[in-house]
Amino acid sequence: MNVLKIAIQKSGRLSEDSLQLLKECGIDVKNSANKLKAQASNFPVEVFFLRDDDIPEYVQDAVADLGIVGENVLYEKNKQVEIVRQLGFGKCRLSIAIPKADTYNENYLQNKKIATSYPVLVQKFLNQKNIIADVHEISGSVEIAPGIGLANAICDLVSSGSTLLMNGLKEVEPILQSQAVLVKNQNLSAEADAILNKLLFRIDAVKKANNNKYILLNAPNDNLEKIISLLPGMKSPTVLPLAQEGWSSVHSVVSENDFWNIIEQLKNAGAQGILVVPIEKMIL
């Protein structure tokens, strides 16, 4: 074995982000529409293009060493694989939804019929809540089930909520938060594990870079200490004198999460000419 086999979704909501992640890791994969697999030209991986539902089983059975799949599919299929990273894309939630006009309470689902493509996860939720209900598995267009009298409620993936809205439904109970994850076979060879570690090093650098911004600003020297205290940076900020006396240029890294908050505080502390630029890779 000298290549790591990675299964990703062939065509669907996770395909583009999965290929983009590999690309940002410097792995060049050509995705042509009818191909089942493709070998990267500059890294020892081979990419398999599959239906997302099949990925957990293929990774469990070592047809592929790794896979990228939504947590919703992973937990529904319940296969023996190990999650190695959450990837931060494909975010959605699996939720119970009911007709808009109905009032929801904890007894609502009792003895009702629930349509879903996720019978295992729905049954688990019902068991936890001690609710007896009829779980009706359908494979697509779950949201139309109440409207055509097939079910009283549904359980489906939601991201913006507009599909529910358009079908006269409302979300009443999220039962699972989901995002795409990287999973691995539980018995990887030492050789495969070594390639995986190289890949994870790159994925972590890309994820960190995406979660951070490089910031440059001009600071009056009188307020330099205050401004530096707002910018912890990787070690500490870089401070360079400006040509104009009494001013310095300060460079640092800020996290996407507290970005706007920090910018406001920096402005209040007298910072000017603030530039914020994306970071491509970040290695600590």
Residue ranges that bind ligand PRT, judged by CB under 6 A: 9, 12-14, 51-53, 70, 72-73, 90, 92, 156-163, 178
Within a 10 A sphere around the Cβ of 194, how many other Cβ atoms?
A: 13
Using the rule CB under 5 A, is 156 a contact of Zn ion? no
C-alpha of 32 from chain center: 24
**Binding residue for Zn ion, selected from 52, 71, 143, 173, defined by CB under 5 A:** 52
Give min distance, CB of 116 to ligand PRT, in A.
10
CA proximity to 178, closest of 90, 116, 117: 90
72 binds, among Zn ion, ligand PRT, none (CB under 5 to 8 A by kind): ligand PRT
Give min distance, CB of 104 to ligand PRT, in A.
18
> Which of residues 18 and 212 has its CB atom nearest to ligand PRT in the complex?
18
Cα separation of 29 and 46, whole Å?
8
Using the rule CB under 5 A, is 53 a contact of Zn ion? yes
> Which of residues 2 and 34 has its CB atom nearest to ligand PRT in the complex?
34
Using the rule CB under 5 A, is 57 a contact of Zn ion? no
Q: What is the DSSP letter of 85?
A: E
- Give CA angle at 169 (163, 172), nearest 5°: 105
> Which of residues 53 and 102 has its CB atom nearest to Zn ion in the complex?
53
> Which of residues 52 and 143 has its CB atom nearest to Zn ion in the complex?
52
Give min distance, CB of 99 to ligand PRT, in A.
17
* Three-class secondary structure of residue 82 per DSSP: strand
Buried b (16+ CB within 10 A) or exposed e, 229-267: ebbeeeeebebeeeeeeebbebebbbeeeeeeebbebbe
Catalog residues that contact Zn ion under the rule CB under 5 A.
Answer: 52-53
